[in-house]
Chain A
Amino acid sequence: MKKQINSCPNQTEKLKLVSMLANKAIMAIKNGTIKKRNLVWLELTGCSGNIISLLDAANPGFKNLATQMVNIIFDNSLMVAEGQAAMEKLFAITADDYILVVEGAIASKDNGLYNIIGQFNGQPITAYRAINELGPKASYVIAMGACASDGGISAGRPNPSGSLSVQSILNRKVIKLPGCPCHPDWLTGTLSYILLYGQPELDNKDRPTMFYSTLIHDVCPRRPYFDQGIFAEKLGDKSCMFKIGCRGPVTPVDCPVRKWNQHVNWPIGDDSPCIGCAQFGFPDRMEPFISYNTTREV
């Protein structure tokens, strides 16, 4: 058999990783060696973009996830039940084992009334109350996306809703998957690993090292341009986006290899700078996103 020699191991192994973990988990569930687990998906103070990103998942896709890997108990965007019945499902699960995925920050201003996720027995349930009731009892808490991980856009200056990250409310281990939105693979890979082996290896900011360990800049296909000082003057140029304001050198995540939406493209591939959406401090500390008047040569 002819061996494939034209593929970079860094690329192929990275892309194989998520489907490998998911297939392993699905097989193990079929064989009965591990159990399907309950999943509660809380959309809180944010744009509900992470559940949309999850619907864009492939290998495993959303169907694999929802039918073969976990029992999704609650998700505002997709569940069939509504009103009181939906909230009953949410609170009934606290007696059982469940993994909690949170997207969005938690509005804290005015007793959290800026974000009410439902009404339970006549009481409005704020995002703040929901995270406090569901966070401590969950077997794992995964903060998905920039807002849940670090406040994100919802906490953008001057933070009118008093939005907070999940970790700043919960005094427990919170696995963080920053990104705006979070790439579906980062979530499905982490979840598969949890089903199979428990908590994956995390860095000092609780991000899984399997996705968040290499700076974009270190593997950027446009790195040779940086090294030779060939910088884009405007969007649309094919060289290094450093002078436009690229945050690749401060953002450790695998976008250059994994890319987005069936690995079809990514921001730098689209001739625009990385805006650091997967780094803590996004957006305030990653702005300005686009600058044209940066000094080019001294």
Chain B
Amino acid sequence: MSERLVINPVTRISGFLEIDATVEDNIVTDTHTKGLLFRGFEKMLTGRSPFDAVYFTQRICGICSSAHAMASTMALEDAMDIEVSDQGKYLRDIIHGCEYLQNHIRHFYQYTLPDYVAMPQNNTLFIAKQTDLRLPKIKNDLLVQHYFDSLDISRSAHEMLAVLGGKAPHNHGVFIGGITTQATKEKISRLFSLLHNITEFIDSKMVPDTQTVAQYYQDYFEMGKGYGNFLSYGCFNNYSQLGTLYLNPFIYHDGIKQVLDPERITENIATSWYTDQTETYAPNETIAEPDIAKSQAYSWVKAPRYNGLPYESGPLARMWLSGEYRHGISAMDRTIARVLEAKKIAAIIKVLLSNLIPGTDVQQVYSVPSTAFGKGLIDTTRGALGHWLKIENQLISFYQIIAPTTWNLSTRTEDNLPGPGEKALIGTQITDPSNPVELGRIIRSFDPCISCATHIYQSGNLINSIQIVS
């Protein structure tokens, strides 16, 4: 018997997502992941001052705004032919690292944990018919306690960010050349002390809590694998003094790790609500026009491909490519990799802080070339983020954004290969189709951010689906 399960909204993610799954004999045979938000940043950016892209594109996403500040800044530096000093890189990578910490802590405690932990039902925010909860009461209570304790820690990650970035979300610090301000001795020592507390929390609570969840949900090491193709643009890398502290741009396919070639990145709109002269294009070629009436399209998520194939990006991809974590590829491995990555990033920030020269001013007066092209590719919290921009008459004439979630929750091309998120859901055994808790657990392991995947749009055509009653 075949039935259709729709989860909408998939809560505890950033933005709006629907999972539409076909289930036969309790096995998922097909899925479509659909984002439900379209704002059209590429169109908005056209005609604006190139400098404004740094603050403007941050507003794509409230939880990972610094990621867009990084990519747009790097694209501008590429276009304007600006070499960034090591000190400039350290400073802005510290800001970026703080964003990782804030994200990973919130994603683990506020977004992931309620999938596995019985949340107190005397609070309306947590009221839900949770099923398949396995933790013994004493451990469960401890993790609930840490859900609340973590709020102070993720908050202090944003406090660190603001010390150098002015404010968070949507910082003012990251800019061409590094950051706007200088790191004084007082600021550096404040950052060390905040970082110390965060590191202690990760070591003493977050890592053990992850182990607790993994211990009671061993079956999730076998679920949500996906393709096992990994891609990263690299991050915390190529410092002239320190070398690479984390990862250079690589891909992983068929068991082989190779250097990433950005020229092999394409985007496809075969099943997305867009039309253009061509369905497949390079990122710097064209911005497809919205087309709601397009047949065969089921979503407005575009489909980025590397060498024509879908790739997963994010913490597991990075930890795998850097060789730090090779336990396996699954929903639980994604969560573990994210938590271990938080620990790694905290260590990297410590190194960067130790190498700061207090009071270094990295800012200059910049001028915009009349014509230029630039790209900024960087791995951010959720994975590979690319900004491609063109400047004409000193204004932005073209802006392309391919966000990590566009990779991870990508739609399909003409070959009908599912996107990585869809692929991870297919084959999943659903214990109770009236409450398919497995789907949310797997998709959340990707840490989707629909706000970033701004191209995404849902058709709104109604299907006669079986509703989930929980």
Contacts and interface: CB of A to CB of B under 8 A. Distances in A.
A224 to B, nearest CB: 20
A121 B363 contact: no
B9 A82 contact: yes
B81 interface: no
B469 A49 contact: no
A180 B14 contact: no
How many chain A residues sit at the interface, stated as a range, is 35 or more
Contacts of B14: 48, 77
A34 interface: no
Contact of A83 (B48, B111, B468): B468
Contacts of A271: 180-182, 363
Given A72-B125, A265-B166, A277-B170, A82 B106 contact: no
B12 A236 contact: no
B56 A234 contact: no
Interface of B is mostly: loop
B158 to A, nearest CB: 5
B106 A288 contact: no
Contacts of B10: 82-83
A255 to B, nearest CB: 8
B458 A292 contact: no
Interface residues of B, number: 92
B180 A48 contact: no
A47 B36 contact: no
B242 interface: no
Contacts of A272: 166, 172-173, 175, 180-181
Given A122-B467, A236-B180, A236-B363, A266 B158 contact: no
Contacts of A275: 55, 172
Given A51-B62, A58-B155, A271-B180, A234 B458 contact: no
A287 B362 CA distance: 24
A30 interface: no
A154 B39 contact: yes
A100 B180 CA distance: 37
Contacts of B52: 283, 287-290
A61 B149 CA distance: 11
A265 B163 contact: yes
Given A48-B63, A265-B162, A163 B39 contact: yes
Interface of A is mostly: loop
Interface stretch (A20-28, A63-71, A198-206, A213-221): A63-71
Interface in B139-174: 148, 151-152, 154-156, 158-159, 161-173
Contact of A86 (B9, B49, B60): B9
Given A50-B62, A80-B130, A236-B181, A122 B464 contact: yes
A73 interface: yes
Among B9, B182, B470, the one with the most A-chain Cβ atoms within 10 Å of its Cβ is: B9
Given A75-B125, A77-B14, A56 B55 contact: no
B458 A113 contact: yes
B110 A78 contact: yes
A216 B103 CA distance: 31
B458 A124 contact: yes
Nearest to B456: A114
A116 B12 contact: no
B137 interface: no
Contact of B56 (A45, A66, A283, A293): A283
A251 interface: no
* Top 3 closest pairs, chain A to chain B, by CB: A49-B62, A160-B40, A270-B166
